[in-house]
Amino acid sequence: MTSIGIIGSGFGALAVAIELQRAGHTDLRLWERSDSIGGVWRDNTYPGAACDVPSPLYSFSFEPNPDWSSRYAGQEQILAYIRATADKYGITPLVQTGTEVVAAHYDEDSTTWTVRFADDTEQTVDVLVTAVGQLSQPVLPRIPGVDLFEGISFHSARWNHDVDLTGQRVAVVGTGASAIQFIPHVAEQAAEVVVFQRTPSYILPKPDQTFGHHYRRVLRHLPGALVGERATWWTFGEQFSRGLDDDSRVGKVIKTVALKHLQHKIKDPDLRAKLTPDYPVGCKRILFANTYYPAIAQPHVHLVTEAITEVTPTGVVAADGTVHEVDVIIYATGFDAQEFLESIDITGVGGQKLAAQWADGARAYLGIYVPHFPNLLVTYGPNTNLGGGSIIYMLEAQARHMRQAIDRLRSGSYRTVAVTPEAEEAYDREIQDQLGHSVWAHCDSWYRHASGRITSNWPGSTHPYAQRTKALEPDSFEWA
């Protein structure tokens, strides 16, 4: 029997665990550092937290949900869906909570992985799956004085719900996907909001809709309704992914709609100019929001586009010398998306460190398999993030491919599987060549490593990836 350890308990971990369990793999354990399952949807509890992918698509294909209250479900509903799915498929009892993985070492003699936890205990498994995701480690900006602020400060991914923002002067650092969701809520409470924007985003109107009782009843009882709804949004996502470039017809439509939305919502020409992107559409993440522009246009909300030079004990200093005195600072500065698995000391064949092998940017065959690291599988790994569509679709495709590899191990013919360096190098050249002709090559973003490599994103729509991972190609691997 092949023992399998999975790090994490979010969508990626569940996709793998359910796929393996349905295939008859019973020696499964999931290690979760928190006290409950849920991944990023457990951690991100800021006001207005929701997905910008329609819920019928941002869910497992094998577990459609007719009970979403709206097209774009909020954090609480998504978390409830994750936990209900884990319960239904028997995964919840397999999760060891409060178990933080800090290191994993491959033993060549026993062909096993020894996993060490923060409490210095260890467990050994035949196969190790990492499902920590790309957006799990929040980062603070490298600004002088961040630690000197005497007021209250926190990252949006670690929202401090004990803080009452009513009547407070609040600084928000960042205007990305999280910020545009919570800023309208902050603006409803705070006496003053100062929003520090480094780069404006293309923002599309969000086609949200409340699902009434009748609509949900149709989804429950009409044969094919749930499948048809999911297929419709999948098709839309595929077309959207193909339009992440000014030069494409779809890209031109996206840009036009985004700028018309801005023009309609922001009447002040100076503010509109500050909110207008000057880079190709799709170069940075395209956002969806209906309430952000009205919030930013309110008289007590101030948009600052000068860089922050310093944080003082009482406020934030901008590059033009203006000192913004505030009571609370909320950092919406994203995640450490480039340092894949940096928080875990992973050692492979011959003492090879994964961090050293990925020093110039993470890379993996199909985003899953890494040379010199047998029986190590990565879900939501390098070059599997998306500019459009649903990551859940990608996670399911990865899980199916992993299951094929592990099935061969279970058959008894082999104990280990590792991608060949040649197969990984050829795959990486192909992907990087495609990415070199993509819109993401035209500007800096969190999709790129400091070396210049685009390490986060998959080049295109999701269907080609699903086709690429549909069948295992045994010759691309070393079996032993």
pLDDT digits (tens, 9 = 90+) for 190-228: 999 999 999 999 999 999 999 888 888 888 888 788 899
The pair of structure tokens assigned to 136 is 């799990």
The predicted pLDDT at position 204 comes to 96
The pair of structure tokens assigned to 39 is 């991944």
The predicted pLDDT at position 441 comes to 79
Cα angle: 179, vertex 184, 186; to 5 degrees: 85
Q: What is the Cα–Cα distance from 421 to 229, expressed in whole angstroms? A: 41
The predicted pLDDT at position 285 comes to 87
The pair of structure tokens assigned to 368 is 């899953």
- DSSP helix/strand/coil, 257: helix
Decide: 2 and 410 in contact? Cβ < 8 Å.
Answer: yes
* Ranges of the chain whose pLDDT falls below 70: 135-136, 243-246, 337-338, 446
The predicted pLDDT at position 393 comes to 96
The pair of structure tokens assigned to 93 is 């009892």
Q: What is the pTM of this model?
A: 0.95
Q: Could you report the per-residue pLDDT of 344-355, keeping only the tens digit for each?
A: 999 999 999 999
Cα angle: 97, vertex 101, 106; to 5 degrees: 135
Tell me which H or E stretch contains 87. Answer: helix 75-88
- DSSP helix/strand/coil, 466: helix
The length of the chain is: 480
